C-alpha cells in the first residue's frame, strides 16, 4: 500500500504525522512511503532524512492525494482535499467527528474510510496509539513553561542574603493527562500547586504528584466515560466556581484544561474572577480552541486584561514540534500496523479499536457518535 505523508497546512501547525525513523520502519514493513516535499521541515526533519529512510519525496500534494491508498495526517483535511482523494482511500488523522459533521459527510460521500486519532478507545492495548494523551502530555508541560515565562517572579522558595522570595502559587483546573503533567512540571520548578477537578477519583493522583486537591462536593450529574467527563450539571459548575474562586484570587498562575468531548468547553474563570487576581498574575487557557475555560481568553493571542496576562495558545504541542511529531508518528504507525499490513486493511469491524476509531466506511457513517440516535443505540 502507498502511504502519503502530507505537509500540514493549518495555521500555527508545525508538526508532521510521520518522522524519518517511523518512515523507515514502515518501509521495512513493506509499505511504500510517499512524503510531500518539506513536510517535516517545521519539525526539524529534512527531506534527505526521509529519502535516506527509504521514502520517496513528492513535490505535488495533489498527486499524493490522488495516488495514495492511505493518507496520514495530524489535522483533518479540508473539503477540497477530500475531493482530491481517490475513492476507497483511507484517511488517518484527528477528525473530531461530532464537531465536524460536514467533514464526516464529505468523507462518506467520497467513499473515504476515516480512522479518527481522537477516537482511539482508552483501553490498555491501545495506549501506544493514544494520540490525544501523547499530545496533551506535552501540552501540559509547555503550558507551565509559557506561564512561568510570562510571570514576573520565580517559582521556588529562594532564601538569599537580600531576603526571602516566596514560592509562586499555581492553580490547575482539570487533572486529566495535560493537568497531571502540568502539576508535575510546576512542582519540579518549585511552585505550590493546587488542583481542582470535578472527578473525586483523581485526588490520589494529584497528591502523588505533590499537588493539593481543592475539594468540591461530588455531584450525581457528573458523568465520565472512558476517562473523559461526559456531562456536568450547571449547578455543580456553579458550586465549583464558588469553591475555587478564592484559590484563583490568591494564585500567581492559573492553568485551565477542562474539556467535554463534542461540546463547548465549560467556563470556569469568569471575568469577575480575573478581576480578583493580583496585578501581574497569569492565566493560561488550554481549552481556548473549544471556546475557552476563561471567559475573556482569545484564541492564539496573549492579552492583558485587568492587569492579568491571559495566554490563549490553541496548539501547545506544536510549540514542541520535534517531540510532538515523534510521539504522534509512533501513535499513528502503531494504529496502522494494528489495522493493516502492506497488502491491505483487515477490516475487523467488531474489533474494539477498529470499532472505536472508524468514523466512515464504504460510503456510510459507522461510528455511534455520528449516527442518528436510534441507529447509534442498535450499533
pLDDT in tens, the chain (379 residues): 999 999 999 999 999 999 999 999 999 999 999 999 999 999 999 999 999 999 999 999 999 999 999 999 999 999 999 999 999 999 999 999 999 999 999 999 999 999 999 999 999 999 999 999 999 999 999 999 999 999 999 999 999 999 999 999 999 999 999 999 999 999 999 999 999 988 888 999 999 999 999 987 655 555 555 555 556 677 777 777 788 899 999 999 999 998 887 788 989 999 999 999 999 999 999 999 999 999 999 999 999 999 999 999 999 999 999 999 999 999 999 999 999 999 999 999 999 999 999 999 999 999 999 987 655 555 5
Residue 110 CB-half CA count within 13 A = 24
Asked if residue 290 and residue 165 are part of one domain, the reply reads: yes
Q: How far is CA 351 from CA 67, 96, 108, 340, in A?
A: 28, 21, 21, 13
Q: Is residue 328 part of a domain?
A: yes
Helices (H), the chain: 20-28, 47-52, 61-67, 79-84, 101-109, 131-150, 177-188, 203-208, 234-249, 271-276, 321-339, 352-357, 373-376
Asked if residue 11 and residue 86 are part of one domain, the reply reads: yes
Domain-terminating residue out of 289, 314, 339: 314
Q: Is residue 122 part of a domain?
A: yes
Domain-terminating residue out of 265, 296, 314: 314
Does residue 122 carry a catalytic annotation?
yes
For the domain that residue 71 is a member of, what is the CATH number? 3.40.50.720
Q: Per the residue annotation, which of 47, 130, 197, 285 is the catalytic one?
A: 130
**pLDDT for residue 235:** 77
Does residue 228 carry a catalytic annotation?
yes
Q: Is residue 217 part of a domain?
A: yes
Q: Per the residue annotation, which of 133, 135, 281, 297 is the catalytic one?
A: 133
The residues near 199 (Cβ < 8 Å, ≥ 6 apart) are: 175, 222, 224, 229
Does residue 130 carry a catalytic annotation?
yes
By the 8 A CB rule, do 206 and 183 touch? yes
Whole-model pTM? 0.92
Q: Per the residue annotation, which of 51, 228, 233, 276 is the catalytic one?
A: 228
Q: Which domain holds residue 327?
A: 2-129+320-376
Q: Is residue 134 part of a domain?
A: no
**pLDDT for residue 378:** 52
Nearest-angstrom CA–CA distance, 84 and 125: 34
Asked if residue 290 and residue 143 are part of one domain, the reply reads: yes
Asked if residue 303 and residue 280 are part of one domain, the reply reads: yes
Domain-terminating residue out of 299, 314, 329: 314
Asked if residue 310 and residue 189 are part of one domain, the reply reads: yes
Asked if residue 153 and residue 212 are part of one domain, the reply reads: yes
Q: Per the residue annotation, which of 127, 208, 218, 278 is the catalytic one?
A: 127
Does residue 196 carry a catalytic annotation?
no
Total domain count, the chain: 2
Q: Is residue 275 part of a domain?
A: yes
Residue 359 CB-half CA count within 13 A = 31
Does residue 285 carry a catalytic annotation?
no
Q: Per the residue annotation, which of 51, 105, 118, 122 is the catalytic one?
A: 122
Take residue 349 and report the three cell numbers written for it: 469491524
Amino acid at each position: 500500500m502507498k502511504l502519503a505523508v502530507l505537509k500540514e497546512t493549518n495555521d500555527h501547525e508545525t508538526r508532521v504525522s510521520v518522522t524519518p525513523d517511523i518512515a523507515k520502519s514502515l518501509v521495512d514493513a513493506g509499505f511504500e512511503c510517499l512524503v510531500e516535499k518539506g513536510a517535516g521541515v517545521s519539525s526539524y526533519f529534512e527531506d534527505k532524512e526521509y529519502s535516506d529512510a527509504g521514502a520517496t519525496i513528492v513535490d505535488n500534494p495533489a498527486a499524493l492525494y490522488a495516488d495514495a491508498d492511505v493518507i496520514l495526517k495530524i489535522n483533518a483535511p479540508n473539503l477540497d482535499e477530500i475531493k482530491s482523494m481517490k475513492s476507497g482511500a483511507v484517511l488517518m488523522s484527528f477528525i473530531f467527528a461530532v464537531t465536524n459533521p460536514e467533514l464526516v459527510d464529505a468523507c462518506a460521500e467520497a467513499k473515504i474510510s476515516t480512522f479518527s486519532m481522537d477516537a482511539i478507545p482508552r483501553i490498555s492495548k491501545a495506549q501506544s496509539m493514544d494520540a490525544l494523551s501523547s499530545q496533551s502530555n506535552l501540552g501540559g508541560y509547555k503550558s507551565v513553561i509559557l506561564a512561568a515565562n510570562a510571570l514576573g517572579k520565580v517559582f521556588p522558595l529562594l532564601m538569599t542574603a537580600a531576603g526571602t522570595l516566596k514560592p509562586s502559587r499555581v492553580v490547575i483546573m482539570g487533572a486529566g493527562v495535560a493537568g497531571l503533567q502540568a502539576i508535575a512540571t510546576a512542582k519540579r520548578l518549585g511552585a505550590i500547586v493546587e488542583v481542582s477537578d470535578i472527578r473525586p477519583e483523581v485526588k490520589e493522583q494529584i497528591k502523588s504528584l505533590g499537588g493539593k486537591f481543592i475539594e468540591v462536593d461530588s455531584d450525581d450529574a457528573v458523568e465520565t466515560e472512558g476517562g473523559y467527563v461526559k456531562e456536568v450539571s450547571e449547578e455543580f459548575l456553579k458550586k465549583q466556581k464558588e469553591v475555587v474562586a478564592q484559590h484563583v484570587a490568591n494564585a500567581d498562575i492559573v492553568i485551565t484544561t477542562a474539556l467535554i468531548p463534542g461540546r463547548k468547553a465549560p467556563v470556569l474563570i469568569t471575568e469577575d474572577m480575573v478581576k480578583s487576581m493580583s496585578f501581574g498574575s497569569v492565566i493560561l487557557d488550554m481549552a481556548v480552541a473549544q471556546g475557552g475555560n476563561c471567559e475573556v481568553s482569545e484564541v492564539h493571542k496573549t492579552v492583558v486584561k485587568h492587569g492579568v496576562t491571559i495566554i490563549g495558545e490553541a496548539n501547545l504541542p506544536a510549540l514542541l514540534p520535534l517531540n510532538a511529531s515523534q510521539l504522534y508518528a509512533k501513535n499513528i504507525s502503531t494504529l496502522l500496523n494494528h489495522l493493516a499490513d502492506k497488502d491491505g486493511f483487515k477490516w475487523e469491524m467488531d474489533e474494539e479499536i477498529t470499532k472505536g476509531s472508524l468514523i466512515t466506511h464504504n460510503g456510510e457513517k459507522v461510528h455511534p457518535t455520528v449516527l442518528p440516535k436510534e441507529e447509534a443505540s442498535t450499533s
